[in-house]
Amino acid sequence: MGEDVHSGKEDDAKTSPPFSLLMRIFLPFAGGYFLSYLYRTVNAVLAPNLAADLGLDPSALGLLTAAYFIAFASAQLPLGVLLDRFGPRRIESALLVFAATGAFLFARGTSLAELVVGRALIGFGVSACLMAAFKAFVEWFPRRQLPMINGIQMASGGLGALSATAPVEFFLSLTDWRGVFTGLALVTVIVAVAVWWAVPDKPPAGRPTPLKDQGRGVWQVFSSAVFWRAAPWAMLSQASFMALQSLWAGPWLRDVGGLDRSSIATILFWTATAMVVGYIVMGIIAERLGRTGIRPMAVAIIGMTLFMCCQAVMVLEWRLPPMLIWVVFGFAGTSGILVYADLSQRFPAPLAGRVNTGLNLLVFLAAFSAQWGVGAVIDCWPNTLSGYAPDGYRAGFGLLLMLQLLSVVWYAGMSWKLKTAKRSVRVASSGHAVSDND
């Protein structure tokens, strides 16, 4: 995302908006991010209905759900330019119209191609929900309040994930999956109108960043060894979390856990609850440790390692309660988000937005590949009477875990190379060996 460069005096002079204005700014964007996460995760509950009604095999189901991620990813890099030039109110309200159109098409679709187009339009339409909110908050709130308001915004997404579990299961008792998406299309239109009419425009403080400078900044990020040291691990951790939570968790609980639909919805509900708690707790821990000089990456490493251990439990089929496995999965899976903060601190402030959107691009491309790939792997085994073969899940989940382990090796190797290079520069400049505490 493009960056507005403010001086410290300007930021200190910025006061909190009145409560009524705060609600006009925050609530519409929170509604958009709520819908973004609801759309992202709803197919975990609807998967059996979609597969039964449309005769979808695991590969087709994975492709259908993953279309959200590839469309979302395609919009990330242009978003910064658009938000800088036209403002978050115009961009988000316009894109949400695409999401509503996609939800309506999805509700009316009768073929895999029609459903994929609808799902892709949804992903494209909600692609600005977080970045637009962050842009608006920077424009209107003092910098000291941003961690709090950003955290509440993330929590609104967690509430969307919660709503995609037991509440959706309840609405399925009143209507079918087509009715659910028709209702979501209507709610999305309402949120789009709310963003357009309620959110005020902030007059630009200066000229927008030229397009060529935006591109130069993107190249600076993607050519950086510091970026590529952490990006693969964060990318694969977040992609695995999204791919499994938003689709394959539900079928796994049915076919491996042996649970009924009501129990599955309950576990997914508590998984989403753990995710909300994880975002808050991980952020607090990283912020507190940051005061002592410990970088967010240290907390992320511990959390992502716990996340891999949780996946190993599923792959090895250790006999632990499914509720425990998936609650830990939901909590630890949030840790990869800390890498965004860590990388932002390692680049100049004007590049922080492009660091985030660059990593976001990789994460959502990987999430598309992971979600579709797991389905393709599961499809290599014949179906059982109750669903898909447990061995297929073991192989698909195991592939994701193996890739994450390889990214850990990459991170360790790149850290050693960067540390060695930094020490060499220090030796060359000072003429004697020095310690490296980075």
Tell me, what's the pLDDT at 430?
A: 61
Q: Which amino acid is at 126?
A: V
Q: How far apart, in whole angstroms, are the C-alpha atoms of residue 263 and residue 432?
A: 64
Mean pLDDT: which of 63-67, 95-99, 433-437 is highest? 95-99
**Arithmetic mean of pLDDT, 163-179:** 90
Share of the chain above pLDDT 90, in %: 51
Q: Which architecture characterizes domain 19-208 according to CATH?
A: Up-down Bundle (1.20)
- Statement: residue 176 has pLDDT above 60: yes
Please check the confidence at residue 239 and state whether its pLDDT lies above 90.
Answer: yes
| Report field, pTM of the whole predicted structure over 0.85 | no
Contact 130, 8 (CB under 8 A): no
Task: Give start-end residues of each CATH 1.20.1250.20 domain in the chain.
Answer: 19-208, 224-423
According to CATH, the superfamily of the domain at 224-423 is MFS general substrate transporter like domains (1.20.1250.20)
Task: Decide: residue 319, CB within 10 A, 0-12 exposed, 13-18 middle, 19+ buried.
Answer: exposed
Res. 7: pLDDT tops 60: no
Name the residue among 220, 180, 197 with its Cα closest to residue 50: 180
Whole-angstrom distance, CA of residue 95 vs CA of residue 342 = 29
Q: How confident is the model at residue 434 (pLDDT cuts 50, 70, 90)?
A: very low
Q: Lowest mean pLDDT: which of 141-145, 246-250, 357-361, 391-395? A: 141-145
Q: How many angstroms separate the Cα of 310 from the Cα of each of 11, 146, 297, 373, 386?
A: 42, 32, 20, 20, 25
Residue-level pLDDT at 138 = 74
**pLDDT tens, 250-286?**
999 999 999 998 899 899 999 999 998 888 888 888 8
Q: How many residues are given for the chain?
A: 438
Percent of the chain with pLDDT over 70: 87
Give yes or no for a contact between 283 and 147, defined as CB atoms under 8 angstroms apart: yes
pLDDT over 50 at 8, yes or no: no
CA distance 436 to 426: 9
pLDDT value of residue 437: 43
